[in-house]
A and B are shown apart, each in its own frame.
Chain A
Amino acid sequence: MNITLTVNGRSVTADVEPQTLLLDFLRDGLGLTGAKRSCEVQVCGTCTVLVDGGPVSSCTYLAHEADGREVLTVEGFAQLPEFELFEEAFNRHAALQCGYCTPGFLLTIKSLKDAGQLGSEDEIRHGLDGNICRCTGYRAILEAARDIAGVSS
């Protein structure tokens, strides 16, 4: 089936199978490998991308569901001026290690911030509970998120 969507600000038209996952479409079809595959059951958040600004687990979201929508991956986010704030915060706190979960966390934090849902410690913790990081123990990521949100711990 033919779909037309916007990916990182550019219009893309493609012929996809009905069962093609958005994750595979992005990674294999468009070469955007920033979104990662891990749990495949919508638990870990490494495959998170934003669809119309909201976080989506692209491992369990069909490519054709994104037809007519705007998809933002970490590659696109990195081109936006606001990315600098995120990069500084993650660097300041060394909030990444192996880096496999990092794109998912960045996009989740961005969507929460845009939706005004990073206003308190509780909101931050609740909002990030759908992203797993096995390396950092989360504390540094929380600190980075607080900096991005302008919330003190």
Chain B
Amino acid sequence: MQQPQESAVKPGLTSVHPAVAPVASNTTTTTTATGALGAQQTSTTAAVSDSQVQPVGQGQDQVQLTDEQILTQMQAIKDEEANVHPLVGVSEDLTELEKEYENGSAAFRNKIMNLADTHDRMRRSRGDGNCFYRAFAFAWFERVMLAKSKPELLEQALKAIEESKDLLLAAQFEPLAFEDFYQVTLETLQNLVHFTAEELLGTFQNDEVSNSIVMHFRLVASAYLKTHQEDYAPFLEFGQTMDEYCSMHVEAMGRESEEMMLIALTKATHVSVEVAYLSGNENADEVNFLPFLPDTPPYMPPLVLLYRPGHYDILYRKSHCLEGVV
């Protein structure tokens, strides 16, 4: 595997960007309400100590929170996080990335300078463990939306999403489990022709729609791996089955992606991706580009993602049409 292991700062946390201290609430977005009082609620409460709920003590007389209170707290944390980092941000000039490393190592600064020769904008995806799937979906759908003069991009995308349903069925997923996410993804794609760039961004910033699309692509990646076990099972840990791997790492929200998911998704959707790997390697001044290619000939230039250990964002290549990007 070419790509380094994701070195998340904390378990379940995708680091946001090195120059910015991770937001404490990031760690709690993946801990769902457990119902019973445990260590998690203690940290949850600590993260929202401004709210009216009393902090949970360590002693005997712990405050018993009702499920509803816990859910309200979880929502408060998510809302707070949303204000700081939208699920998908507006596009930014690449100089914003340079600024993050102003006081950082020369290895990063040199690479960004070189990257800026061929790329001029970036777009952040929230570091919630879903950043790869969300960045992939947004970059793809935005490409289709902007290419009004090339209706074949929309046709190919619609075909790929419709085919994904057959893949999900072939992987033995029950329709109940995937049809709502599939429907939202398909409808979003069908509506792209009527969307303004702002509306597309708004759609991907809306929890309900954005997460449904993320979930669809998670299930598609899982279905691809399950239906191509002979190729990918050798990469699993000893004794682990592909079903176990997918249920632990692919099918649940907030689980970080590994190289295998990138391969699966590009092959399942016939969309090629190039990952610009921004590492702290001091022996190189160039960003390394890792290509992920589908089995079919590419019908459009690759989506470009920026990868920093533990996190994916979107990059815009100068040679690609950028007109209308917001």
Specify whether A and B are partners: no
Could you list which residues of chain A lie within 8 angstroms of chain B, going by C-beta atoms? none
